Amino acid sequence: MAKGDQSAVRPRHDIDSLADIALEVFRSRGYDATSMEHLAAAAGVSKAAFYHHMTSKEDLLARGFERALDALFALLDEPAAREGAALDRFRYVLRRVVELQHDLLAEVTVLLRTRGNSPTERLALDRRRQFDRRIADLIEAAQQEGSLRADIDPHLAARLAIGTATSIIEWYRPGGKLPAARLADQIVAMTCSGLATHPTKSSAVTGQTRTAAPKR
């Protein structure tokens, strides 16, 4: 008793809302360039007050990693990502990755920009690589079904597709003119069909490199 009372008028800040604030500052300044003074100022409290609610700067980072990675893996477990033709599953996952960056822009950005300087960061990078591997598996399956070209290594294709989708963190801002759903459309379209109007020979520019000619 005397614990989960209803009228909690007092708590102006809790861990989660402070993490929201901190991760947004991490996103815009970078984790290492952000001081606790920056975070406190963004929350409108003193540095000491900030520490009253949480334990350490690195813990805030870890929370961001966890949010982003949990969401990424959760997305792989959605029905549309598990059932159906591999191509459709790939397109769905790609689209959801874009949408996830709309919902968790700060968290995903912080995750993508980490360099692995601490055990916490290295752990996050490990989990991230596992995600990439899942995408590569998806692409490989689509290749075997004949719906994705087989002349590109699935791991490379996965990195490029994910790289295309995640590169939007550099400029995309929720609330702008371009809705996330439309952006996702165009990214899926470009990744699968390319920018060209009609299938161009992929060996037009190169002199000597022999990539396998596109089937049919």
Partner DNA sequence: ATGTTCTGACCGAACGATCGGTAAGGTCGG
Partner DNA sequence: CCGACCTTACCGATCGTTCGGTCAGAACAT
5 binds DNA (CB under 7 A): yes
189 binds a second copy (CB under 8 A): yes
CB atoms within 10 A of CB 50: 22
Binding to DNA, residues 52-71 (CB under 7 A):
52-53, 55-58
Place of tokens 């029905």: 79
CA–CA gap between residue 144 and residue 148 (Å, rounded): 8
Q: For residue 140, which of 129, 130, 155 has the smallest C-alpha distance?
A: 155
- Measured from the CB atom, is 55 or 171 closer to a second copy? 171
Q: Could you say which of a second copy, DNA, none residue 152 binds, taking C-beta under 5 to 8 angstroms by partner kind?
A: a second copy
Distances in Å between the alpha carbon of 33 and those of 27, 65, 131, 173, 180?
10, 18, 28, 21, 29
Part in contact with a second copy (CB under 8 A); list of ranges 4-12, 15-23, 45-53, 152-160: 152-160
| Shortest distance in whole angstroms from residue 112 CB to a second copy | 8
| Shortest distance in whole angstroms from residue 3 CB to DNA | 9
Q: Give yes or no for a contact between 61 and 110, defined as CB atoms under 8 angstroms apart.
A: yes
Binding to a second copy, residues 103-122 (CB under 8 A):
112-113, 115, 117
Q: At 51, is the secondary structure helix, strand, or coil?
A: helix
Q: Could you say which of DNA, a second copy, none residue 127 binds, taking C-beta under 5 to 8 angstroms by partner kind?
A: none
